[in-house]
Amino acid sequence: MMIKVPATTANIGPGFDSLGLALSLYNYIIVKEGPPAENLSQKAFDMALREMGMKEKDIRIEIEGEVPIARGLGSSATCIIGGILAANEITGGRLSREDILELAYKIEGHPDNIVPALVGGLTVSFVDEEKIRYIKLCEIDFIDLVLFIPDFTISTSEARKILPQSLSYRDAVFNIGRVSLLVSCFLKKDISDIRAALEDRLHFPYRKGLVKNIDLIFELSYRNGAKGVFLSGSGPAVAAIVEKHDKEFDDIMKREILNRSEFTGWDVKRVTVENEGAEVMKVSNFYRNCG
């Protein structure tokens, strides 16, 4: 069996810990016979089986794919969702979508990546008394995203440590207005105001210092036609929103970015929004040997 799980970008500017978007960049969670592996998907798989009162029998979970680790693109969410889906398929689909998300939340600790990884599209989610509440707002087919991915990592836990313990009323109101406008832009398929809608005072001002030369990426992106730019998750990857018909932006930015010494080791990758979410690609009854 193989589970295909999309990368995600969370926060999307002002939607801190609540907005998420699935991307056409994937990890593949592969189920084989053999001794258990030591990875996050295996951990999620084993936990899901225990929650169902079952145990693994010589089942090995491996991870292959394209999602870089600790870059703010939801790599951990892909592994967790993939592992739980594998356990669910092997045991005959005992878990509901809500069960899967709640198990994933126990490992991930926040829902903004795991929800779009499972259901796809643009999602909003939050946790209410340990229960995840979410909605898939819409499918998105009118924009592409261009990702600027460095060769260094930032752990989510480290990126959270630098955030302040409190914020001003004024900053809270600032973000409420921006996130409301941002959701409206997506729902109306009108990104003319999305640059303003992506402004943030909850996390970006504190995290931007972790990504050297990030201001230059923003400047060059807007100069060359990006409609909006934001830090992907807790970083260090940066995402630019471009119109579908703008087919030159990523090539221009590759020349602008990759030819500069300060961006040695960076990658520039164009992706679309993945509207379908995680997919079980093939299942064999051969693997239904848990009990």
pLDDT digits (tens, 9 = 90+) for 175-232: 999 999 999 999 999 999 999 999 999 999 999 999 999 999 999 999 999 999 999 9
Give the model's pLDDT for residue 286: 40
pLDDT classification of 171: cutoffs 50, 70, 90: very high
Q: Tell me: pLDDT of 255 over 60.
A: yes
The answer to whether residues 49 and 98 belong to one domain is yes
The answer to whether residues 171 and 262 belong to one domain is yes
Give the model's pLDDT for residue 284: 55
pLDDT classification of 289: cutoffs 50, 70, 90: very low
What is the CATH classification number for the domain harbouring 10? 3.30.230.10
The answer to whether residues 265 and 283 belong to one domain is no
Whole-number Å distance between alpha carbons of 239 and 174? 22
The answer to whether residues 158 and 120 belong to one domain is no
Mean pLDDT along residues 97-106 = 96
The answer to whether residues 97 and 186 belong to one domain is no
Q: Of 27-36, 97-106, 133-142, 278-287, which range is least confident?
A: 278-287
Whole-number Å distance between alpha carbons of 159 and 227? 26
- pTM score, whole prediction: 0.93
What are the helix (H) ranges across 109-248? 114-119, 156-161, 169-188, 194-197, 204-207, 214-223
Helices and strands counted in the chain (H then E):
10, 10
Cβ partners under 8 Å of residue 188, min gap 6: none
Give the model's pLDDT for residue 166: 93
Mean pLDDT along residues 38-62 = 92
Mean pLDDT along residues 81-95 = 94
**Closest residue by Cα to residue 49 from 288, 280, 277, 285:** 288
DSSP E strand boundaries for 113-163: 122-128, 131-138, 143-149
The answer to whether residues 199 and 123 belong to one domain is no
Mean pLDDT along residues 64-76 = 95
What is the CATH classification number for the domain harbouring 183? 3.30.70.890
Q: How many domains does the chain have?
A: 2
Rg (CA), the chain: 19
> For residue 271, what are its two tokens?
């992706």
Give the model's pLDDT for residue 283: 59
Q: β-strands 19-33, 143-149: how paired?
A: unpaired
What is the domain extent for residue 197?
Answer: 143-271
Under 8 Å between Cβ of 288 and 92: yes
Whole-number Å distance between alpha carbons of 274 and 149? 19
Whole-number Å distance between alpha carbons of 270 and 91? 37
Q: β-strands 238-243, 267-271: how paired?
A: unpaired
The answer to whether residues 147 and 264 belong to one domain is yes
Q: Tell me: pLDDT of 288 over 60.
A: no
Residue type, 196: A
pLDDT tens digit sequence for 150-161: 999 988 888 899
The answer to whether residues 57 and 161 belong to one domain is no
What does the chain come to in residues? 291
Instruction: Say whether 119 sits in a helix, a strand or coil.
Output: helix
Give the model's pLDDT for residue 246: 93
The answer to whether residues 129 and 148 belong to one domain is no
Counting Cα atoms < 13 Å in the Cβ hemisphere of 122 gives: 18
The answer to whether residues 79 and 126 belong to one domain is yes
The answer to whether residues 38 and 89 belong to one domain is yes
pLDDT tens digit sequence for 25-42: 999 999 999 999 999 999
pLDDT classification of 130: cutoffs 50, 70, 90: confident
The answer to whether residues 38 and 14 belong to one domain is yes
Whole-number Å distance between alpha carbons of 40 and 244? 35
Measure Cα distances from 135 to 111, 119, 122 in Å. 12, 9, 9
